[in-house]
């Protein structure tokens, strides 16, 4: 059976320290700790976690390296991010959100998991991201909240 490769944005890791999102966020992280899924850990996630409280950072450190796939931002991902912005899938203020989606798409993640219902886990945004992806020769990306995965 194939192990899912899942791209997380920072909202899920941070959710482990927020009473409203704690239970599903921690269950999501436990998938990686137990090796039931591979975490696609982007350089963007790493940068955002550097500015997060130590309690949030600690959650990322619990995942054994053997269940982590590290991806760096590339010119390809940045170009795709810029197309999302040019096509107005999201606005300029959501550059980082578009970058997360582009990184996951270029890395060929099985899915993105996020709590960002305004700019990522939103039916119109998902349709926009995937319309661009298909036009640009990428596979569609599945986008879910932790509640839909765990």
Q: What is the pLDDT of residues 41-66, one digit of tens each?
A: 999 999 999 999 999 999 888 999 99
Domain range for 132 is 4-149
Listed as ranges, residues in the chain with pLDDT below 50 are none
CATH code: domain of residue 36: 3.40.50.1010
pTM: 0.94
Burial letters for 10-33: b for 16+ Cβ neighbours within 10 Å, e otherwise? bbbbbbbbeeebeebbbebbebbe
pLDDT at 1: 77
CA–CA distance, 44 with 107 (Å, rounded to integer): 13
Number of domains in the chain: 1
Looking at residue 108, its pLDDT comes to 98
Residue 23: predicted pLDDT: 97
Output the pLDDT for position 5. 98
């Amino acid at each position: 059976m194939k192990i899912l490769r899942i791209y997380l944005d920072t909202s899920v890791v941070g959710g482990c320290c927020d009473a409203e999102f704690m239970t599903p966020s921690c269950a999501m992280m436990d998938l990686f700790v137990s090796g039931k899924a591979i975490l696609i850990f982007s350089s963007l996630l790493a940068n955002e976690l550097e500015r997060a409280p130590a309690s949030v950072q600690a959650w990322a450190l619990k995942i054994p390296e053997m269940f982590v796939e590290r991806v760096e931002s590339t010119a390809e991902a940045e170009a795709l991010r810029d197309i999302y912005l040019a096509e107005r899938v999201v606005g300029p203020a959501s550059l980082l959100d578009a970058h997360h989606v582009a990184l996951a798409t270029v890395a060929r993640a099985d899915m993105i998991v996020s709590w960002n219902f305004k700019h990522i886990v939103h039916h119109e945004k998902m349709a926009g991201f995937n319309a661009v992806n298909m036009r640009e020769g990428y596979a569609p990306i599945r986008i879910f909240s932790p509640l839909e995965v765990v």
